[in-house]
């Protein structure tokens, strides 16, 4: 049988025509810089460490970090060492702290790249000293006290030993304790009794460290919510993440005195197909939605593999042609269906999934509310398959 299809020979293909973005996340770097400036002003003299873990909350690690530094962040924070090393490879020179390392993490590479590291325990301090010896230079360490979140950090009981061992290591020349720090559990609920309790434990831990002879550059405990709501938590440096990206984690009714922040990411896609569906049509997997009137459906090429929460099935909505229209039925891996009613929607029309909200589009917060999660998860889940386009 002869080949039914004509195969193109290499080099004979038509030049590619400029393609329409099927899906994209536009990240406004000017907005990130403005948010950093706003937070630096709000912190009134405390340093700003912009947290850029998780690919800068989905915004693109290196461009976002550069914009935040341009806006006023004097330091950057990451969770894992690989993220910090990527910042260094991009030539970013401000102090960077990476705070999460299990045994066997690439500590020596981090020390050679002048990345600050955290110690929660004596064992970690020993591992840091060994890595510093191998690297042939001192390691800059932030000692972490667990002030009541019961996640990472030294227990209050073991803190005096950790402090004493760190002081000894400083004298022996392998360690510089540059930070004393902690993390807050309930700062997004201003007035929660744990806030004052954690700050009290932190004050005492700092006092103990200083009376043992430690002289850290920075004492820090404030995440976004504490930066915005709790001036007594600022100490020498604040450490916001989500606020840099324009999301206030405190519920609107509790935001007294908060500055305005602006979401920096806009997620959109182009409509693939539209079709009329009569009353009684079962939509998407499982037919969990059945139309109760004749309507027009549009297929949007984004799914849970792109970061659209499946829990927002039949709950989220999007903006198309200036109107909010609802998701119908289940969000699939790569696509979902919206009900465009009698709007004149056509294939190729832009669908705004979320953005700053200025033109009536939903925000990441709206999607989080629809899916029963938090905007942090909505932003950080936007998948690598969705191209980021940096503007501003």
Binder among 72, 95, 246, 249 for ligand PLP (CB under 6 A): 249
Nearer to ligand PLP, 60 or 249 (CB): 249
Stretch that binds ligand PLP, among 4-12, 16-24, 234-242, 338-346 (CB under 6 A): 234-242
Set 53, 57, 120, 144: catalytic member? 53
Residue number with the smallest Cβ distance to ligand PLP: 241
Nearer to ligand PLP, 58 or 240 (CB): 240
Stretch that binds ligand PLP, among 171-179, 236-244, 300-308, 351-359 (CB under 6 A): 236-244
- Is 245 part of the annotated catalytic residue set? no
Q: Cα–chain-centroid distance for residue 372?
A: 18
Say whether residue 240 binds ligand PLP (CB under 6 A): yes
Say whether residue 357 binds ligand PLP (CB under 6 A): no
**Across the strands, what pairs with 328?**
337
- Is 144 part of the annotated catalytic residue set? no
DSSP state string for 229-291: H-GGG-TTEE--SGGGGT---S-GGG-TTPPP----EEEEEE--EEEEE-TTPEESGGG-EE-
Binder among 75, 183, 258, 388 for ligand PLP (CB under 6 A): 183
Give the residue from 333, 317, 297, 325 showing the smallest Cα distance to 370: 317
Q: How far apart are CA 130 and CA 125, in angstroms?
A: 9
Strand ranges (E), the chain: 23-28, 47-51, 75-78, 96-98, 116-119, 139-144, 175-181, 218-222, 237-238, 265-270, 273-277, 282-283, 289-290, 295-300, 317-320, 323-328, 336-339, 350-354, 388-391
Nearer to ligand PLP, 30 or 149 (CB): 149
Nearer to ligand PLP, 316 or 375 (CB): 375
Applying the rule CB under 6 A, the residues between 272 and 331 that interact with ligand PLP are none
Set 120, 285, 304, 376: catalytic member? 285
193: number of Cβ within 10 Å: 9
The residues that touch ligand PLP, with contacts defined as CB under 6 A, are: 51, 53, 99, 183, 223-224, 239-243, 249
């Amino acid at each position: 049988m002869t080949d039914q299809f004509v195969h193109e020979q290499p080099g004979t293909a038509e030049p590619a025509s400029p393609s329409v973005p099927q899906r994209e996340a536009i990240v406004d770097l000017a907005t990130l810089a403005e948010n950093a400036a706003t937070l630096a002003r709000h912190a009134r003299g405390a340093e700003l460490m912009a947290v850029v873990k998780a690919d800068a909350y989905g915004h693109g690690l290196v461009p976002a970090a550069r914009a935040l530094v341009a806006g006023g962040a004097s330091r950057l924070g990451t969770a894992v060492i690989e993220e910090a090393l990527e910042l260094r490879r991009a030539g970013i020179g401000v102090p960077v702290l990476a705070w999460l390392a299990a045994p066997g993490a690439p500590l020596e590479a981090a020390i050679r790249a002048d990345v600050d590291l955290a110690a929660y325990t004596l064992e970690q301090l020993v591992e840091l000293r060994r890595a510093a010896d191998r690297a042939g230079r001192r390691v800059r360490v932030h000692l972490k006290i667990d002030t009541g979140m019961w996640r990472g950090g030294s227990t209050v009981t073991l803190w005096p030993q950790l402090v004493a061992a760190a002081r000894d290591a400083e004298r022996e020349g392998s360690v510089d304790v540059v930070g004393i720090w902690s993390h807050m559990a309930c700062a997004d609920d201003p007035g929660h009794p744990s806030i004052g309790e954690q700050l009290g434990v932190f004050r005492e831990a700092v006092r103990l460290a200083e009376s043992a002879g430690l002289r850290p550059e920075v004492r820090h405990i404030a995440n976004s919510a504490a930066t915005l709501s709790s001036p007594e938590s600022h100490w020498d440096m604040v450490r916001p993440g989500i606020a840099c990206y324009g999301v206030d984690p405190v519920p609107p009714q509790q935001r007294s005195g908060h500055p305005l922040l602006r979401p920096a990411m806009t997620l959109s896609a182009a409509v693939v197909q539209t079709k009329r569906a009569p009353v009684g049509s079962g939509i998407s997997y499982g037919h969990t939605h059945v139309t109760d009137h004749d309507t027009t459906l549009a297929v949007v090429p984004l799914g849970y593999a792109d970061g659209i929460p499946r829990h927002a099935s039949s709950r989220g909505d999007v903006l198309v042609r200036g109107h909010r229209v609802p998701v119908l039925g289940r969000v699939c891996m790569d696509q979902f269906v919206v009900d465009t009613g009698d709007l004149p929607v056509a294939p190729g029309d832009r669908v705004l999934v979320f953005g700053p909200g200025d033109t009536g589009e939903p925000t990441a917060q709206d999607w989080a509310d629809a899916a029963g999660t938090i905007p942090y998860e909505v932003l950080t889940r936007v998948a690598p398959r969705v191209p980021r386009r940096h503007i501003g």
